[in-house]
Amino acid sequence: MNRGQEGLLPRTTTLADESYLDFVESFRRFNFSTMYPSFFEAGSEVVSRELGPEGDRAPLEDIQRVINTVPVARSWQRMMRSHQEMMWRRTRASFERDEADHLKSLDDAAARGPATLHVDPDFVVPEYARREIHLQPGGYTDDPLGGIVFHYGTKCFYQGYNDQDQHHQEFTDALKVPADGICARILDVGCSIGQCTRQLKTRFPDAEVWGLDVGLPLVRYAHKIACDQDVAVHYKQGLAEATGFEDDSFDAVLSYILFHELPVEIIEQVIPEMFRILRPGGTFTIFEFPNMPSDNLPAAQRFLIDYDSRNNCEPYSQAFVEFDFHGLIERSGFQLEPGQPCSNDFLQSLVLTKPA
Amino acid sequence: MVAMNSKDALPEGFGHEIYGPGKQFFDNAVLDNIMDAMLELTAALWTVQDRNLVLEQVLQEALQQDAQARADFDLQARIEDFRPDEALQARRLAAREELVKTVFGGFARKSEPQLKTNDR
């Protein structure tokens, strides 16, 4: 049954699903607030004891070998993987019960507007994008229910603190307006289910706001929500590396945690593409994973990044962390400066400006 | 408008990560299986406990209605439709966090490395 919404968030189709997923959310919080610190402390101790004071810079295989001798490390890895599997299985099962009505509501939105959806029937999703990122079944591209499943799944990911898109509001508020104050056309690149896109329209009601994403299930769902909320934005299925937009046609672009989900060779095309579509003086605001050589990190954190890459289907994040992203930005012609800090201090915040 | 039929559109290998063979983190896969079973059992226990909390609240509201309203009362629908107030939400959260801590807290205890284990 359709149990309606809780503000911006869809409710699961049964109370039992809601209870189960609430449990998963609490378990995730326990994993981060209790298990991870214990893992980090015990892992760091054993690395120091077994590999010496330079243990943080030891080969990753040696770090894994000694950290895996600590019982809490094995338990933490099992728990991380298990709760993520539970979250996706139950979320998808819940919304599958209402599948026919939900898919019809996506189609019906097209007739209502005021948002628009732009899909090229000949568009081919590149293979690099067809991964089950974060273990989501069908990933971002292949499950027709992927939008609503992603929405509720990320409720658990954010541990309830983004139920009403509070995090996205923070990133939207941080978008840097060009120095001349003109912000008439804005792109949310890698928009997913369009949370920032809709908020950008609220912040800039007179602007033409676009959301672009490779995942058709995501932009279809984004479009439906925008229609439900009477927000006149535009969504398009497309590639960040080949957007199809005209040269110099946007005043500002925003991206939130897009780049670590892309192979480096694609990132090397995306930055020049953003340079091409921004007009002189236009800005590109980025919130993203950090970039740093991995042997500068504590051993337990190196263990974590590798674990996440292999066991949470983050196939491209490790290469991104080690990539010279800032060098690429500057070689592409952008002026680079630090952006506004955000509450998630793991993320880097950047503002890129196309010289006027 | 592009229509997508879910069954036809699903690619081969859909859901491989969560419906596939899974991952092993302990030397003995039975330990992985036992921990998965513990998680599912605790989730099931919470689901029952949570339904009780909601049921009590719904029944409390029903008792305050007149006889005719109670006769027309669709308990199942009221439970599913129920929207808890902030006080009940806080009780649910506290009870859930306590259950997680009680069942799984022991795993976070520091423990000595088992260096003789044949590790990956």
Q: Which of B44, B51, B101 sits opposite A15 (nearest CB)?
A: B51
Alpha helices in A174-254 (DSSP H): 195-203, 216-228
Complex confidence, ipTM: 0.92
Ramachandran quadrant class, A248 (left: phi over 0; alpha: psi -120 to 50; beta: rest)? left
* 66-85 of A, contacting B, C-beta below 8 A: 66, 68-72, 74-79, 81-83, 85
**What does the CA dihedral A47, A48, A52, A56 come to, rounded to 10 degrees?**
60
pLDDT in tens, A55-104: 999 999 999 999 999 999 999 999 999 999 999 999 999 999 999 999 99
Contact A26 B19 (CB under 8 A): no
pLDDT over 60 (residue B116): no
Q: Do A22 and B46 touch (CB under 8 A)?
A: yes
CB atoms closer than 10 angstroms to residue A351: 18
B3–A contact, CB cutoff 8 A: yes
> What residue type is assigned to position A133 of the chain?
I
pLDDT band with cut points at 50, 70 and 90 for residue B4 = very low
Check if the beta carbon of residue A342 is closer than 8 Å to that of residue A276: no
Residues A135-166 have pLDDT tens digits of 999 999 999 999 999 999 999 999 988 999 99
In a mutagenesis test of the A interface, which of B1, B31, B78 is the best target, namely the one with the most A β-carbons within 10 Å? Answer: B1
CB A302 within 8 A of CB A318: no
Q: String of b and e for A42-70 (b: at least 16 CB within 10 Å)?
A: bbbebbeebbeeebbebeeeebbbbbbbb
Asked if A29 and A99 count as a contact pair (C-beta separation under 8 A), the reply is no
Whole-number average pLDDT of chain A: 96
Tell me which chain B residues have a C-beta less than 8 angstroms from the C-beta of A41. 110
Is A313 an 8 Å CB contact of chain B?
yes
Beta bridge partners of A6: A9
| Res A210 pLDDT > 60 | yes
Q: Give the total residue count for chain B.
A: 120
| pLDDT score recorded for residue B21 | 87
| Mean pLDDT, all residues of chain B | 86
Whether the CB of A130 is below 8 Å from some CB of chain B: the reply is yes
| pLDDT band for position B10 (cuts 50, 70, 90) | low
Report B:22-51 residues touching A (Cβ under 8 A): 22-23, 25-26, 31-32, 35-36, 39-40, 42-44, 46-47, 50-51
pLDDT of res. B115? 57
Instruction: Give the residue-averaged pLDDT of B40-68.
Output: 93
A63 neighbors A303 (Cβ within 8 angstroms): yes
A15-19, A42-46, A271-275, B15-19: the lowest-pLDDT one: B15-19
- SS3 of residue A311 by DSSP: helix
pLDDT category of residue B2 using cuts at 50, 70 and 90: very low
Q: Please tell me the distance in Å from B77's CA to the nearest CA on chain A.
A: 10
Q: Could you tell me what percent of chain B has a pLDDT over 90? A: 61
Given B16, B18, B25, which is nearest A74 (Cβ)?
A: B25
Residues 6 or more apart in contact with residue A142 via CB below 8 angstroms: A125, A130, A217, B9, B10, B11, B14
pLDDT at B93 over 80: yes
The pLDDT assigned to B112 comes to: 73
Q: Residue B86: what pLDDT? A: 94
d(CA B89, CA A201): 32
Contacts of B44 in chain A (CB under 8 A): 20
Q: Which residues contact B27 (CB under 8 A, 6 or more apart)?
A: B117, B118, B119
Stretch A45-61: mean pLDDT: 94
